[in-house]
Amino acid sequence: MYVGSRKVKRRDSPWRVLALVVLIIGGLYVVREQIGGTDWTRPFDPIPTPTRSAESYFDEGEALYDEGLLDEAISAYANAFRIDPLDNVALFRLVRLMVFRGRAGEALEQYGTRLLDEELGDARTFAVLGMALDWHAVFNSEDLLPVYLELGAVEEEEVEAEDWLYSREKVMRMLTRASQKACEQALRLDADLPEGYAYVAEALADRERFEEAEAAAQTAVSLNPNIPDTQRALGYVLESQGEYELAVDAYQAAAQSHPKLSFLHIALGKNYRAIGYRLNLMGLWDDSGPYFEQAVAAFEEAIRLDPRNPLGYDEIGWTYGHYMGEDRELKQRAVDYLEDALNRDPEYAPAHRHLGQVYYNLQNYEECIPALERGLQLGDLTPSDAILSRIMLGWSYYRLDGDSQGEEAQCTRALPQFKAAWDILEELPRRELGLEQMAAQGLEACE
């Protein structure tokens, strides 16, 4: 053990230090000259970061997609396509996921003309264009009419006609036809493209050409049963025909091919719920319960996979509030889930619509009215949902105004809603007798 003083350090001579500084400066000068002279002015500048390649972004998108992180994958694919605008595979992946995330209109607006480009495009770009047109059709908007015209989905001659009026139902049919044409072009370019058959099957089903749709979907599955698009398309075609049990099998196969895609579990849950509802209509209440429970379980799995998405919360709320009886405790549970959906996305129109109907069934018209009005204001409702919202609004105004202001005021706010519902009904390609009867009752009450 040392108990004495520490070892004394030798002091460097000032001349020695000066000599070392001169040597360092000289060395830096030599290095500077060797690597390019004036381009390196300070030895401690940060080292430039290499620019990421399109391939690295694409690989990142693939990994994120495999994990079910669709929003993050969309960003990665968008960067890959931005760096390499000739990469049709990245473009296909990008638009496909945008459609899955409910952004079909945005995809058409941003990438529609590139997808349609015959020189730069290929079978995949035409196929995913068809997919985007079909999924967007029911939510079409007059604001996007210039996009539809540019894509040739709406003919300029029709718009220039003197009697032209924008009709969502009419434009929906135009977009669905354009979807079919784009998919058929994809299949002319590549007759073995499974996604081409899958997407044209959906368009054909939406045009109620079910025999052709099912044949196309079966072809898609035979070409590649191991991707979710083919099995999902078959499920959609079967679901559109009311074959819910068979649709469940197809959606299960789709979910098995990619278990982390939340929207596949949503589709699966909807078909379980449809089976339960059908049993209810047959009076088989005890038999329907397990199907509703399976539906809720599927929606819960969707929430687990994508907790930020309002869709799973909305579907559970709608299942409790509309399908599972008149128990007030279930109705309150429905309200809680629907409010959870709106906490995640205050502009998710279906949740406003569903919340309004639950309040309507509870005869809570004060809460029903703002929910239904907000859903209509947002505009992302199917025609049937918009009709029903108008009818419920009409009856809510009728009862509230009648109670507070007397019979003379009952129809002041109610009648315009019943008329608006009837106007939408007249645009539908086929009659909806149940909705017609409800709207007619409102009009008759206000005559």
Q: Check residues 13 and 413 and name the one with the higher pLDDT.
A: 413
Percentage of the chain lying above the pLDDT 90 cut: 80
DSSP code at position 283: T
pLDDT greater than 50 at residue 227: yes
pLDDT given at position 317:
98
Residue 330: band (very low, low, confident or very high) from pLDDT cuts 50, 70, 90? very high
Average pLDDT of the chain to the nearest whole number? 90
Percentage of the chain lying above the pLDDT 70 cut: 89
pLDDT given at position 47:
59
Per-residue pLDDT tens over the stretch 199-213? 999 999 999 999 999
DSSP states of 80-124 as a string? HHHH-TT-HHHHHHHHHHHHHTT-HHHHHHHHHHHHH-TTT--HH
pLDDT given at position 45:
53
What's the CA gap between 95 and 112, in Å, rounded?
9
Which CATH topology does 261-349 take? Answer: 1.25.40
pLDDT greater than 80 at residue 233: yes
What's the CA gap between 314 and 348, in Å, rounded?
9
pLDDT given at position 49:
60
Is 298:272 a contact under the CB 8 Å cutoff? yes
Q: What is the pTM of this model?
A: 0.85
Per-residue pLDDT tens over the stretch 10-53? 344 444 433 443 344 444 333 444 444 444 444 455 555 668 89
Domain spans of the chain, in order of start: 261-349
Rg (the chain; Cα; Å): 30
* List of residues 6+ apart from 239 with CB closer than 8 A: 247, 267, 270, 271, 274
pLDDT given at position 2:
36
pLDDT given at position 409:
83
Q: Check residues 128 and 327 and name the one with the higher pLDDT.
A: 128
pLDDT given at position 70:
97
For 120, 138, 303, 313, 371, the CA distances from 320, given in Å and listed in that order, are: 49, 26, 16, 11, 18
Which whole number is the average pLDDT over 105-132? 97
What's 52-89 look like in SS3? CCHHHHHHHHHHHHHCCCHHHHHHHHHHHHHHCCCCHH
For 174, 334, 356, the CA distances from 367, given in Å and listed in that order, are: 37, 14, 7
What's the CA gap between 377 and 348, in Å, rounded?
11
Helix (H, G, I), strand (E, B) or coil at 152: coil
Q: Please state which of the ranges 152-156, 297-301, 327-331, 374-378 shows the lowest mean pLDDT.
A: 327-331
Q: Please state which of the ranges 33-42, 111-120, 170-179 shows the lowest mean pLDDT.
A: 33-42
pLDDT given at position 26:
45
pLDDT given at position 46:
58
For 47, 53, 256, 369, the CA distances from 50, given in Å and listed in that order, are: 9, 9, 39, 56
Q: Check residues 157 and 272 and name the one with the higher pLDDT.
A: 272
What's the CA gap between 65 and 229, in Å, rounded?
14
pLDDT given at position 27:
46
Which whole number is the average pLDDT over 307-334? 93
* List of residues 6+ apart from 107 with CB closer than 8 A: 94, 95, 98, 99, 132
Is 394:421 a contact under the CB 8 Å cutoff? yes
pLDDT greater than 70 at residue 3: no
